[in-house]
Structure 1
């Protein structure tokens, strides 16, 4: 028998690749952090001798979820300014609170809370845009989680940097420091076309091409954003970004609730990606991304939560359900954004957007063993006719029992193995007292 590190025996294995595949009574064999094979359980018992065996008789085993758009440190701002339109929320509440409080300590505690929440909810990788990304990378890797760290850029001074050149300098230092790390990749993260000038966006496009890094940016989040751009420049933001040389297979645009057929054609032709955040878009009344129309045109659409200050959670199961339901309503078609599509958006599509689909995003031999186990044995998940539908429409993050990243178990029976939940709660309570005047 062949020796391996871990054997996961599950009622269902849903590999995502090949698409629309459900494997009954299958197992995932893991050695040295990678998937060796996905095979029938009875064959696995004959083939492998494992140091650790996990029996998951009522579970669906899926690729670890990928939260493709986050501001992790903003976990400290959960609920700080609810029920407000985007620009009021941002300019009158979030920016002032950040100016008063953001620091390395703020990011340390906020990111740790976000990582704990995401891991417990089956997320194994997230794509972040926020200040002090060096802190985010350190906290995330200490917990054992995967990260796309944003090299943040914004035109005005903050606690992180005084001028655009300093943001870029610090971003390049981040890229160099983490280059080659097995858990961390980097992406340029200019905040938005209304907070970063075109000269700097053109510079980012040049640097991104030289370093082969994605560019992660908020685009067409609201109608007001688009209208203001037209009023001041005569062009829609996406056209300005294309003129800067940004639209490409490395371009990942968050939100895109306002999009024309011509823009969809340009996004598809350039290989650009969309990061769909349905619940944040609804909460801020930003609009609705036409997901099925984008998918039909060949645009890759991934799924994210946004930060908890505008959501108010990092629940990717909730985002899958919302994406599927809203996608049907927007398309006027009950078959639009079906359950398999929603699961793909939360896994392999996110990996494609981040350029890491060769390493994660599906349960495929040779890829990293980033795995989430979801218990479908609960009353509210029974009976099971189609486990993928159950995952998207019935299950929730509280049904996640186990999580592995690169073969290392980080959640076992719902318990966090690399983070201290009580200490994180104490820090959250302390920050609430500091931030209360901004609420």
Structure 2
């Protein structure tokens, strides 16, 4: 009788708990995730994994939860270099009188590169493995993510006024096409159109975006209904709410990533559900800028794909997805006036699989399933701050800090090992960050 020898694979990660996210609200005890090359090939009990697989590397996580890498579905990561520059101000004052003038003085490929690198280091140390980027110089942004081996969807910016990136509308679209083409087939970096907001983009530009997004098969990543002021100004200008204007222009469809949506009517929520729109909830940025409250539980109950994101460091002021999930869950309960609203498992799903779905990446990442990319984060739950432990999902959302993330993999490659960044020069990065601080402070 022949015995089948163990199959050779690159990596087996054994964990006290595995939280796959799909199926929903499931926690598997004493399970192993088997990885070969960049993909998950099996999820099974540890004893069975040891019998069936011979890994080149085995990682034993005795008191950890292994979760999908967190997916930050709305970021402006070069703005990490503007963290804390102009706090405690309302949105338009913050943008028009502080952020935009500062950016105009320093923005360029080097600013973008160094800001993204700082952001990647912060995200990895917090268990985040993918970002949905929305900023200028997407060529430099994408090149930096590619160099660092970090997964990202890079926004192709469109705005109605000249910037250091493009001077005319035709140039915005020409450069968008060039950047899109440069990342075709890249295993980690993709693209999306990133028109800034209805109040800064014309109907003509939105119409071009709608046609091109269909042709290129990419999402449209848009700030929408961030504040009541935005809604009132659009009504004065066009007689329509911004969402209605997007409907009229054909943008309300399953490609739309609608960010913020703090001012949503029941009819608009139903329209999002019917059209397949993804809504990205950035609770801490909305709270800090006093922008309003996204009705997260209403969106969830309506069947809308609801994701969670941090927004940029200039308005949050961090890229901590654990903190964001906790705030989202607690805030949703207060807004819904229902303590059972937006439970912990739903919050974790919004920070992983739902966020991946918003970005069109749900077949690749967002859950721990065979065939998917091995984007994974190990979270140590033995710390006193997460003891005693009764329910793993609740502890991850309501008690865990990002400092408890010990190890991270993207596409099967270790990016964080025992809290140490792999392949990144932390001291050199911090030195460049201090130089940018001096330059920006002098503006």
TM-score, normalised to structure 1, is 0.99
Corresponding position: 1:2 with 2:7: yes
* Equivalent position to 2:216, from 211, 222, 226: 211
Given the alignment, which residue of 122, 126, 129 partners 2:131? 126
| CA–CA separation in structure 2 for the residues paired with 1:295 and 1:116 | 31
Q: CA deviation at 1:244?
A: 1.0
How far off is 1:437 after superposition? 3.9
SS in 2 for 1:200: helix
| Alignment RMSD | 0.7
8 A Cα contact 1:348 1:362, kept in partner: yes
Q: Is the 8 A contact 1:144 1:418 kept in 2?
A: no
**Matching residue of 2:62:** 57
- Offset of residue 360 of structure 1: 0.6
Listed as ranges, the gaps of 5+ residues in structure 1 are none
After TM superposition, give the deviation of residue 245 of structure 1 in Å. Answer: 0.9
Q: C-alpha offsets along residues 83-135 of structure 1, whole Å, 9 cap, x if unaligned?
A: 00000000000111111110111101101101111111100000000011111
Query: Secondary structure of the residue that 1:403 maps to in structure 2?
Result: strand
- The correspondence for 1:276, drawn from 266, 274, 281, is 281
Distance 1:142 1:185 in 2: 14
Task: Map Cα deviations across residues 266-323 of structure 1 (whole Å, 9 max, x no partner).
Answer: 1111100101000000000000000110011110011110000000000000000000
Task: Kindly indicate whether the alpha-carbon contact (under 8 Å) linking 1:130 and 1:152 is maintained by their aligned counterparts in 2.
Answer: yes
Bigger mean CA offset, 20-29 vs 132-141: 132-141
In structure 2, the partner of 1:184 is 189
Is 1:290 aligned to residue 295 of structure 2? yes
Q: 2 CA distance for matches of 1:11 and 1:92?
A: 51
User: What TM-score, normalized by structure 2, do the two folds share?
Assistant: 0.98
Aligned match for 2:341, one of 336, 356, 377: 336
Show the counterpart of 2:3.
none
Which of 38, 42, 47 is matched with 2:43 structurally?
Answer: 38
Post-superposition shift, 1:418?
A: 2.1
Once the 2 structures are TM-superposed, how far is the Cα of residue 163 of structure 1 from its aligned partner? 1.2
- Segments of 5+ residues of structure 2 without an aligned counterpart are 1-5
Equivalence map 1:36-435=2 (5 Å): 36-435=41-440
TM-superposition CA deviations, 1:165-212 (whole Å, max 9, x none): 111111111111101111011100000000111110111011101111
Q: How many aligned positions are there?
A: 438
Whole-angstrom CA distance in 1 between matches of 2:201 and 2:137: 18
Q: Quick one: distance in 1 between partners of 2:207 and 2:229?
A: 24
Runs of 4+ in 1 over 6 A off after TM superposition: none
Query: In 2, Cα distance between the equivalents of 1:247 and 1:115?
Result: 31
Cα separation, 1, equivalents of 2:173 and 2:401: 39
Cα distance, 1:55 vs structure 2: 0.6
SS in 2 for 1:221: coil
Deviation at 1:249, TM superposition (A): 0.7
1:65 shift after superposition = 0.3
